[in-house]
Amino acid sequence: MLVEGTSLRSISRIVDVSINTVTKLLLDVASAAHAYHDATVRDVRCKRVQCDEIWCFVGAKAKNASPDRKAEGWGDTWTWTAIDADTKLCVSYLVGGRDGWWANEFMQDVASRVKGRVQLTTDGHKAYLEAVENAFGADVDFATLQKIYGAPTDEETRRYSPAKCIGWDMKTVAGDPDPKHASTSFVERQNLTMRMSMRRFTRLTNAFSKKVENHAAAVTLHFIHYNFARIHKTLRITPAMAAGISDHVWSYEEIAFLAQ
């Protein structure tokens, strides 16, 4: 239920256990899942990798959080993700801020997990430029894809409806990326999967995380399930099987037993 978009309190009511029990299960399994991902998702042979960041918040939006609360981790939170365009494997993820320091941490992790030369595509976020160079050097074909959106004129529509994409601007930053494969569509689709699979990512609700540790744990649990246990509709196998790092579809019990 945790990986299918159900909130902690809903699970507590349905299963008839304390919410503290649900939270402890989330933290325990996520800690083990993080260690497993870190050790297993290595030397992945990727041809094309797409990267993006998705916004959320912990406790309150940054503009509404007091300095004391911000010191506890409240405020805007960004989840960085890197997806193999062919196997749909999430190679790397990171929960944190959106500045250059976090971009460097994220890209260093991506570079440490892939094997061989890759074509990398990101959006136009400037922090990627230095981070990619620091992590990959000249051994990467790097392009940025900036989508251009038209803003709706009606205020109500602007608040609740996504803007319409009216064009894009692709730029070669390093190497020789193939323009046909310079895309961020798969990783942006992953953003939707995250919002559907984690209740705390749902907008305009009170299901947001109250602790940054719980938020990061939910992201970790999501990706161990997404990579190893969730069959991709197009691939008909899990991303981990497509990438050659798993030989079967994991059960929920196998994920839970990681914490033992």
pLDDT band of residue 206 (cuts 50, 70, 90) is: confident
pLDDT at 203: 83
Q: Quote the CA–CA distance of 176 and 142 in Å, as a whole number.
A: 7
pLDDT tens-digit map of 60-112:
999 999 999 998 899 999 999 999 999 999 999 999 999 999 999 999 999 99
Residue 178 has pLDDT above 90, yes or no: yes
pLDDT higher at 214 or 260: 214
pLDDT higher at 71 or 167: 71
Lowest mean pLDDT: which of 131-135, 164-168, 176-180?
164-168
- Residues with Cβ within 8 Å of 89's Cβ and at least 6 positions away in sequence, in order, are 41, 44, 46, 83, 227, 239, 240, 242, 243, 245
Token pair for residue 90?
């999430």
What is the pTM assigned to this prediction?
0.90
What is the enclosing helix (H) or strand (E) of 115? strand 114-115
Q: In terms of Cα–Cα distance, which of 205, 126, 216, 217 is closest to 173?
A: 126
pLDDT at 160: 61
pLDDT at 155: 64
Looking at residues 122-130, what average pLDDT do you find? 94
pLDDT at 91: 97
Dihedral sign for Cα atoms in the order 192, 196, 197, 203: positive
Residue 230 has pLDDT above 90, yes or no: yes
pLDDT at 34: 97
Percent of residues, the chain, with pLDDT higher than 90: 83
Residue 49 has pLDDT above 80, yes or no: yes
pLDDT at 86: 95
**Which string of DSSP letters, residue by residue, matches 137-185?**
TTS-EEEEEEEEEEPPSSHHHHHHSPPEEEEEEEEEEES---GGG---H
Dihedral sign for Cα atoms in the order 234, 239, 241, 243: positive
pLDDT at 154: 67
Max avg pLDDT among 7-16, 142-151, 156-165, 168-177: 7-16
- Residues with Cβ within 8 Å of 176's Cβ and at least 6 positions away in sequence, in order, are 141
How far CA 41 is from CA of 31, 92, 134, in Å, comes to 16, 8, 21
pLDDT tens-digit map of 128-161:
999 999 999 999 999 998 877 776 666 655 566 6
pLDDT at 202: 87
Percent of residues, the chain, with pLDDT higher than 70: 93
Q: Quote the CA–CA distance of 198 and 212 in Å, as a whole number.
A: 14
State the distance between the two ends of the chain, measured CA to CA, in whole angstroms: 20
pLDDT at 150: 72
Q: Quote the CA–CA distance of 41 and 223 in Å, as a whole number.
A: 12
pLDDT at 147: 73
